[in-house]
């Protein structure tokens, strides 16, 4: 973990796994735009609603059984076709121990300007490839998760998220956070 250092030794404290939704060039080790990144403090997948259950979520006024509120103008879907709660935006400035649960665990530094930097590796190296997430925004009247094609799910690891008719979408990388800066 972090080479031979433990998170506490570097001013970071362990946390239950959190999840960053990041967008950017996977080959970069630093850049801008982290002010457009979000964070789920709790795993959003298990709290998600399968696309096939969209009619029940809509009938419940968008309130999921797990308590989160669906936003019809800005919604998220993950690789298995579950509608998820939105992450918190923006990702707060600070230092995070991050991993893609593969070879690299490193420190991500996020500045209030939106600039970000990894101590080691690239955005691809810290992306958990099996996890996929996309942010959808309806642009056509009546567009919703109900417009999705269920056969498009699940998405292959590392593959693009499918379009949903009547919506724009952006694919986000999912990065595991295992420790955060003590402030």
CB atoms within 10 A of CB 85: 20
pLDDT, position 6: 45
Pairing label, strands 167-181, 133-138: antiparallel
Q: What is the dihedral of CA 4, 40, 38, 120, to 10 degrees?
A: 10
pLDDT in tens, 104-146: 999 999 999 999 999 999 999 999 999 999 999 999 999 999 9
Q: For residues 88 and 74, what is the distance between their CA atoms, to the nearest angstrom?
A: 12
Closest by Cα among 128, 118, 114 to 21: 128
pLDDT in tens, 31-42: 999 999 999 999
Give the tokens for residue 176.
């595991």
pLDDT, position 182: 82
């Amino acid at each position: 973990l972090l080479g031979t250092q433990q998170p506490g030794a570097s001013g970071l404290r362990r946390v239950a796994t959190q999840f960053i939704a990041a967008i950017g060039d996977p080959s970069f080790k630093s850049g801008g735009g982290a002010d457009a990144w979000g964070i789920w403090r709790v795993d959003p997948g298990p709290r998600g609603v399968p696309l096939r259950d969209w009619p029940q979520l809509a009938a419940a006024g968008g309130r999921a059984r797990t308590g989160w509120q669906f936003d019809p103008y800005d919604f998220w879907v993950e690789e298995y076709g579950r509608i998820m709660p939105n992450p918190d935006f923006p990702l707060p400035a600070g230092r995070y121990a991050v991993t893609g649960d593969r070879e690299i665990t490193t420190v991500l530094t996020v500045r209030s300007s939106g600039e970000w930097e990894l101590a080691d590796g690239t955005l691809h190296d810290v992306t958990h490839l099996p996890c996929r997430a996309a942010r959808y925004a309806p642009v056509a009247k009546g567009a919703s998760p109900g417009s999705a094609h269920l056969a498009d799910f699940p998405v292959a690891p590392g593959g693009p998220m499918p379009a949903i008719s009547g919506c724009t979408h952006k694919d986000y990388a999912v990065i595991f956070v295992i420790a955060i800066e003590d402030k």
